[in-house]
Amino acid sequence: MSVNMDAALAKAEQEAQRLQQQAEQEAAMKVALPLRFAQNMAAFRQYIPHIADMYEAYQPARPFKFFCSENGQPNLAWLDDDVAVYGAEPYLICETLVQEFMEKGGLSKFSFSQEANPLGFMHVEYLNKLNTYLDEISIREDMLSQVPHEVPSALIFGVGLGYHLGYLYERCKIGTLFLFEPDLDLFYGSLFCFDWAPLLAYLHQENLGLHILLGQDEETIVKDFSSAIHSRGSFLIANAFIMWGYQNDKIRKLIEKVQQEYYLLVMGWGFFDDNLIALSHTINNIERAVPFLKKEHRISSKYQRTPIFIVANGPSLDNAIATLEKNKDKAIIVSCGSAISALHKIGIKPDIHVETERTKIVYDFLVNLNDPDYLRDILFLSTDVIHPDCASLFNQSALVFKLGEPGVVLYHNYFSHLTASAAIGGVNPLVGNIGVSAPIHLGFKSLYLFGLDNGYKNKGHHHSKLSSYYNNEESAGALGDMMYGDSQWQREGNFGGTIISNAMFDTSRRVIEQVLATNEDVRCFNCSDGAKIEKTRALPSVEISLSSPVDKTALLAEITALCAPIPLSKQDFSSLLDVEFFNIFIDKMVAEWRQEFSSRNELNQLMLRNFGYLAQIAATRQQHIAQTMMGSMNYVFTLLSSILYSFEGEEETLELMKPAIDLWLEFLSKAREMYPRALDSVDMIDSEVMALFRK
């Protein structure tokens, strides 16, 4: 009996000691946490002031308490359900998490396949060479088997109380960290528990990037991530280390959302030759006195509710022909790109024709209709980068500047004293995008979409069978193969079922959704049997019944009256190219790449520094130079980064980098030769693809 009593007493004494020790730890924690918070806030005030502003007088939405486990490690529990962020060993849990991700995880990979280069683009030539080199060395060299001790970027989902960040930086040098935290209260908790101050000082000292993406709304977080990536360099996401810091529904949904959006971050970068062609086309269109839409000019209110039929060349157009025929006098018909060949075949003339592609194939395709009278009295509506011969096929043309191109920034930066011209976004990647964006910009509020499928139901029927895609059955197959690409995704259908889509179609759909979301007063009916588009109402074309005819002559005359030529010539632009500054920029980069490198991080930092020059140039009147180089630098740096972070052994990898760096230096040398001819780079090449459209 006494033995049991002694044991019970000893146990009680132990428990009393444990409780006393925990009470002492809790008391010490109550003193330490506010001190740590003050130090962290001072550090954020110094390095990331907007976070300090956000948490200066912060009141948590969901009350919590701090407590410490037996080992004295601060933890957090929510008062409403008494659930803690971590179990009994917060530090060990976080250390183990980092260790497992480092040992079992890898880096995200982007691959660019070999591209046909019928137009002889220098950018495509060098991207293909870098790709070939990467493929060759991947066969013979040892690939990285786990996450290396230096990575160019990391995406960490969930800050929790921040402990895993300390363990992560102990094991790994991260060029740029994107830190996602959807729970503002939890980040507030981390300011008390984790030593942010020394981490921020270390990042500053080592010139390592940190973007903290906070917020309750997934859409906003993803938008902030996208703009952070674009400003720092989109190439960073090509070799990112990805992990989560804790898991719950919010984090899982956020990871899913970022995964869905990831491909959008590597689309639409543009490239060097393409930008020179664009600039040349802009200046040629201006010199030929093609009218440009004036800024903030819209059609009058009496025409705003006019039905606008936007006709794209998707497979479901074939089933809408009767509706178009029946209502052709009661709506303005806008043909998008190759859809004009289907309308021509059935004898319907659109009122407006839109195009977005800049290469000569657009002009050649229109000429291939072999009916110049058919085109004459259609209003041609496009962007400044369109091939300058296109306007010669129409009696009336109207152009708008396309945002994000070198021409628009050159014009706006140097000719602000002239009448301001309109500039619009949302016109890419497919011609259906300008089909939606341009009428909305003009002020139209009632849109109907036909053949805007953004996908297809079966592979043999990828465009309207009435269009030039099917002038020749054999060619239709070849054009289909070119269009499908490798990735095929399932997307919800507009009238139910599923649609086969791909990256290009899906991006086009998303861009239309964004345009409609920012123009909520527009009613948009989706009559296409293709992919579902948010913010549109599904409406089978057979249900359309319009009553009033449209005075098309008056309406189109009003649109053309909103436009005027820009009174400038090529001479006005020549000196503004600033060839001397371009050469200084290229020479500076070349000099920096001609050195010996001692680490992966050194090379990664150089790419970031080069990309940083673009941001500096973009803030000056030479912004067009940044615009011209940005796309190709993103593509090349993606491949250089892939070589840098794919192979075992740092020294061996630095040797493997040398031939790749030589290719990059060759590219820069050729860019230096080509840039002075930027205004004489109109696309004159006959695309081999045109042969597939001929009968």
Averaged over 494-502, what is the pLDDT? 93
Segment 136-162 shows an average pLDDT of: 94
| Best CA proximity match to 87, nearest among 97, 76, 95 | 76
Q: What is the pLDDT of residue 40?
A: 97
Q: Is the pLDDT of residue 475 over 60?
A: no
Q: Name which residue leads in pLDDT, 429 or 486.
A: 429
Give dist(CA 34, CA 320) in Å, integer.
Answer: 68
Mean of pLDDT values over 617-628? 96
Q: Is the pLDDT of residue 10 over 80?
A: no
Which pLDDT band holds residue 169 (cuts at 50, 70, 90)?
A: very high
Query: Quick one: tokens of 317?
Result: 């157009």
Which amino acid would we find at residue 323? T
302 contacts: CB under 8 Å, gap ≥ 6: none
For range 45-60, the mean pLDDT: 96
Binned at pLDDT 50, 70 and 90, residue 460 comes out as low
pLDDT at 26: 74
**Cis geometry, peptide bond prior to residue 406 (ω within 30 degrees of 0):** no
3-state secondary structure of 93: helix
Whole-structure pTM value: 0.89
Q: 474 or 349: whose pLDDT is higher?
A: 349
Question: pLDDT tens-digit profile of 102-126?
Answer: 998 888 887 777 888 888 899 999 9
Q: Could you tell me which residue, 691 or 179, shows the higher pLDDT? A: 179
Q: Which of 115-119, 191-195, 394-398 is predicted least confidently?
A: 115-119
43-53 burial code (b ≥16 CB/10 A, e <16): bbeebbeebbe
Give the model's pLDDT for residue 119.
81
For 524-556, letters b (16+ CB in 10 Å) and e give: bbbbbbbbbbebbeebebeebeeeeebebeebb
pLDDT in tens, 15-48: 556 555 566 677 778 889 999 999 999 999 999 9
- Residue pair 606/565 in contact (Cβ under 8 Å)? The answer is no
Q: Which of 81-95, 124-138, 253-267, 441-455 is the least confident region? A: 253-267
What whole-number percentage of the chain has pLDDT above 70? 91
Mean of pLDDT over the chain: 91
Q: Could you tell me the pLDDT band of residue 216, with boundaries at 50, 70 and 90?
A: low
Per-residue confidence band for 418, with pLDDT thresholds at 50, 70 and 90:
very high
